[in-house]
C-alpha cells in the first residue's frame, strides 16, 4: 500500500443483494455497457455506520495491568452504530453524450456468516498472537458486518473508525463521494496502455478495483515488483478487500461480492463491473463448473529452464519480453531466491517468495489463448456468443486469485480523455491523473473530478 492524495478513515456496511437481477443478466446479456448495467443503486438512501465495539480496558496491543487478565471468554459483542454515516452501493448513475457517470463512496454492504473455515484462516495467520492479543471475537454462525470488531489489534484506525476489524498495517476506509466516467461504447486501444496504481475499475456495488500491484518492489529497487494478493494476503479483510487511504477496494475476486451478485458457478458469470476503458468485467466462471483461464504463466526458475536464470531458484534475470518468452532473458539486479522469506512492508508479515510473488515472475502464453474456449487473451478477456468482449476475474480451483486477477496488465480498450485514470508507459507506476477527493462534489454532477499533479504526488494503491 502506498499513500495517495486521498485522505483516509474507516467505514462500514450491511446489506446483501438479491440474486434475481444478476441471474437474468447472465441468461440474456443484451447490450452490455455501463449505461444499461444492473448497478446496485442505493435508492433508499441506506446508510452504513461503522460497526465496532472496543474491548473494555486497555486498547488492543497494550499490556494489561499486573495481575489482570483479559476476559475469557471475551464478552459478547454489542453492535453499535457509530462513526460517520456513509451511503452504501452506487449513489447515482447518469447517462449523457455517450458516457455513463457513476457516483460512489466505495462502500459495500457486506454481511458474512462466519464459518469454521473463516476461523481456521484467521488462526493460521503467521502472527496470530500479535494480531489477536485478546483472541478472535466472533464465533461460527455469527453474522459479521463490514467493519465489525473481530478482535484484530487495531493500532491504525482510531476508536470508532474500524479498530478491531482491519488487520494490522491496513489503512482505514472513508466515504469519498466520487464520480467515475465510463464510455458507453469502448473501442480497442491503438497502443499499449498499462494499468496504473489506484482505481482502474468499479464493481457494480460501488467498490473500487485496483490492479495486480501493492505499489512496492523488492528493496525499493523498482526491479522486482510485488503482487498484491501475495504480499498483502494478511492485510486484506474477511471479504478480501482493504483501503488505500480512503478508497475501499478489491484487487480481484471476493467471495462476498460473488454472494452479493449470486455468482455461484452454475453458469457463465454475471457482470461484476467495468474497467476504466469501458469494457465489462465478469466473474470467474466461463460456464457451469468451468473457470475462465488466465493465459499468464509462471516462470520456471530451475537451472535448465528456458525462463530461468541458469541456477536453481535464482532471480537474477528477467524476460526480454513478457509477452514472448521465446526472446530469452536479460540480467538484472537480483531479487530474492524463489522460496525464501521476505516481509510485507507495513504489517511485516512473512511472505514466501515462490514464483508468482513478483510481477516479473509471469509471462503470457499466446498458444493458450489460441486454444479458445475458456482461455483468455493477454488482457485477461475474450469474446464469445452471446457476450461482447469482456474481461474475467481469474481464480484457481480453490477460488484463490490468479494473475492478473481481474484484467491487465494492459487495457484492451482506449482510455478516453474523461477517464478517471491514465495509461502507464511501463507496467508499474502512478497515473498522471486520478480521481480527486472533494468535499463539495455534487452527487448529481456529470463531470468527472480529478486533479492534475506530478506523477510522484498522484494516486496510490495497494
For the chain, which residues make up each domain, given as ranges?
20-60+75-294+364-457
445 has a pLDDT exceeding 50 = no
Q: Which pLDDT score is estimated for 462? A: 36
What residue spans of 218-254 are helical by DSSP H? 228-231
139 has a pLDDT exceeding 80 = yes
Q: Which pLDDT score is estimated for 196? A: 93
Q: State how far the Cα of 196 lies from the Cα of 461, in Å rounded to an integer.
A: 9
Helix (H) or strand (E) holding 120: helix 116-123
Q: Distance between alpha carbon 377 and the CA centroid of its chain, in Å?
A: 21
pTM for the model stands at: 0.81
Q: Which pLDDT score is estimated for 162? A: 63
The pLDDT confidence band at residue 203, using thresholds 50, 70 and 90, is very high
261 has a pLDDT exceeding 90 = yes
412 has a pLDDT exceeding 70 = yes
Instruction: Render pLDDT for 5-37 as a digit per residue (tens, 0 to 9).
Output: 332 222 222 223 222 223 223 333 444 689 999
Are residues 315 and 309 in contact, defined by beta-carbon separation less than 8 angstroms?
Answer: yes
Residue with cell 495517495: 4
Q: State how far the Cα of 329 lies from the Cα of 316, in Å rounded to an integer.
A: 10
205 has a pLDDT exceeding 60 = yes
The pLDDT confidence band at residue 243, using thresholds 50, 70 and 90, is confident
Q: Which pLDDT score is estimated for 273? A: 97
The pLDDT confidence band at residue 290, using thresholds 50, 70 and 90, is very high
Amino acid at each position: 500500500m502506498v499513500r495517495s492524495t486521498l485522505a483516509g478513515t474507516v467505514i462500514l456496511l450491511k446489506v446483501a443483494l438479491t440474486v434475481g437481477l444478476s441471474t437474468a443478466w447472465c441468461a440474456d446479456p443484451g447490450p452490455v455497457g455501463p449505461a444499461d448495467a444492473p448497478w446496485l443503486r442505493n435508492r433508499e438512501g441506506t446508510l452504513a455506520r461503522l460497526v465496532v465495539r472496543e474491548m473494555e480496558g486497555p486498547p488492543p496491543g497494550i499490556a494489561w495491568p499486573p495481575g489482570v487478565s483479559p476476559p475469557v471468554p471475551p464478552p459478547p459483542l454489542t453492535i453499535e452504530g457509530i462513526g460517520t454515516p456513509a451511503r452504501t452501493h452506487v449513489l447515482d448513475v447518469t447517462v449523457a453524450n455517450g458516457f455513463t457517470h457513476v457516483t460512489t463512496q466505495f462502500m459495500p454492504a457486506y454481511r458474512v456468516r462466519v464459518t469454521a473455515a473463516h476461523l481456521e484462516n484467521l488462526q493460521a495467520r503467521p502472527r496470530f498472537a500479535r494480531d489477536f492479543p485478546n483472541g478472535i471475537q466472533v464465533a461460527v454462525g455469527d453474522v459479521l458486518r463490514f467493519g465489525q470488531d473481530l478482535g484484530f489489534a487495531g493500532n491504525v484506525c482510531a476508536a470508532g473508525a474500524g479498530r478491531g476489524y482491519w488487520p494490522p498495517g491496513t489503512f482505514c476506509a472513508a466515504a469519498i463521494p466520487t464520480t467515475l466516467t465510463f464510455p458507453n461504447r469502448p473501442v480497442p486501444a491503438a497502443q499499449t496502455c498499462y494499468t496504473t496504481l489506484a482505481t482502474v475499475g468499479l464493481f457494480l456495488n460501488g467498490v473500487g478495483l485496483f490492479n495486480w500491484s501493492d505499489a512496492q518492489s523488492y528493496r525499493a529497487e523498482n526491479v522486482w515488483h510485488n503482487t498484491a494478493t501475495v504480499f498483502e494476503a494478511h492485510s486484506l479483510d474477511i471479504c478480501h478487500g482493504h483501503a488505500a487511504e480512503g478508497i475501499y477496494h478489491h484487487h480481484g475476486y471476493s467471495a462476498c461480492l460473488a454472494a452479493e451478485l449470486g455468482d455461484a458457478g452454475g453458469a457463465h458469470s454475471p457482470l461484476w463491473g467495468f474497467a476504466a476503458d469501458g469494457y465489462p468485467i465478469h466473474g470467474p466462471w466461463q460456464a457451469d463448473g468451468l473457470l475462465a483461464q488466465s493465459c499468464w504463466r509462471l516462470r520456471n526458475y530451475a537451472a535448465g529452464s528456458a525462463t530461468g536464470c541458469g541456477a536453481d531458484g535464482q532471480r537474477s534475470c528477467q524476460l526480454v519480453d513478457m509477452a514472448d518468452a521465446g526472446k530469452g532473458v536479460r540480467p538484472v539486479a537480483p531479487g530474492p531466491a524463489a522460496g525464501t522469506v521476505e516481509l510485507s512492508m507495513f504489517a511485516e508479515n512473512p511472505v514466501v517468495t515462490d514464483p508468482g510473488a513478483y510481477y516479473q515472475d509471469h509471462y503470457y502464453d499466446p498458444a493458450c489463448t489460441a486454444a479458445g474456449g475458456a482461455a483468455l487473451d493477454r488482457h485477461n478477456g475474450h469474446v464469445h456468443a452471446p457476450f461482447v468482449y469482456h474481461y474475467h476475474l481469474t481464480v484457481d480451483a480453490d477460488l484463490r486469485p490468479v494473475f492478473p486477477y481481474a484484467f491487465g496488465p494492459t487495457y484492451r480498450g482506449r482510455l478516453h480523455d474523461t477517464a478517471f485514470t491514465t495509461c502507464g508507459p511501463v507496467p508499474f507506476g502512478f497515473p498522471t491523473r486520478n480521481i480527486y477527493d472533494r468535499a463539495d462534489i455534487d452527487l448529481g454532477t456529470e463531470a468527472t473530478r480529478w486533479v492534475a499533479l506530478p506523477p510522484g504526488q498522484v494516486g496510490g494503491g495497494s
